[in-house]
Amino acid sequence: MAELSGRTFFVTGANTGIGKETARGLAARGARVVIAGRSEEKTRAAMKEIADDTGNTDLDFVPLDLGDLGSVRRAAETFLATGEPLHVLINNAGLAGSRGMTASGFELAFGTNHVGPFLLTELLRDRIVESGPGRIVSVSSDGHYRAKGIDWEAVRRTSVTRTAFDEYCVSKLANVLHSQELARRLAGTGVTTYSLHPGAVASDVWREVPFGVRHVMKLFMRSVTDGARASLHCATAPELADRTGRYYDNEREKEPSPVATPELAAELWKRSEEWVAPAP
């Protein structure tokens, strides 16, 4: 129970699915877990379930809507104002199968799955470095192999494909690139980064897919408990402490897409910094 005692984990989207099972696994090992999400009601219900299940009540809630950069800033400010350390950030929250734009003007999947997490990570990274050794974990997908690159104009327009799956794959490529570039920028700080594919999991990431299609999809998917293993592995496994910027499929290191080059990662970083910069 005390294995992770004294260590604080910040997990986004942990009121359901993989995120909730990740938070449950951390709490069961004695961690303090801060859960960030849009619904306070759902998150507090999840926290009670986790506390009842694990006996660990060291859980907290921070409001966060990753599609709204103002909300991201407020969430980071709320946590930083506590003055407490942060050892591991798990960028778990995401969506798929829904078309549209975020409140901050990005294609829905790209804005929610990359731009929001990028800003959150930037706002919290100094605290993670100060608290180190630390880790930053990004839940990506093997869908990133389908992306041929990033169309810088398309990510500022509404989704165009019928299922928005192509856009989702681009956002997951961005997760891998972000993790790789972050590893280069954090070299020597004691903070390591990881991106991962949790497997095809029957989680709420597919909540916007039409019900009939979603039901059939989930028949062939892993459970959320199985899906959380990759996140827990990257967030806590001692043997990964000297590795950074790597991509994991389930719990095994794997080469990411050849499209995930240092050059593209640097370009994405530059543009992401410009996108999230406060208005003058």
| Model confidence pLDDT, tens digit, residues 111-133 | 999 999 999 999 999 999 999 89
Mean pLDDT of 85-107: 94
Matching residue, tokens 């240092």: 262
| Fold of the 8-270 domain | Rossmann fold (3.40.50)
Say yes or no to pLDDT of 142 above 90: yes
**pLDDT score for 211:** 52
Say yes or no to pLDDT of 209 above 80: no
Q: For the chain, what is the mean pLDDT?
A: 91
**pLDDT score for 212:** 55
Phi, psi of 68 (to 5 degrees): -120, 105
Omega before 133 within 30 of 0, i.e. cis:
yes
Residues serving a catalytic function are 168
| Model confidence pLDDT, tens digit, residues 214-252 | 444 444 455 667 878 999 999 999 999 999 999 999 889
Helices (H), the chain: 17-28, 40-54, 69-80, 108-110, 116-131, 165-185, 211-218, 224-236, 262-276
| Model confidence pLDDT, tens digit, residues 35-45 | 999 999 999 99
Q: Domain coordinates of the chain in residue numbers?
A: 8-270
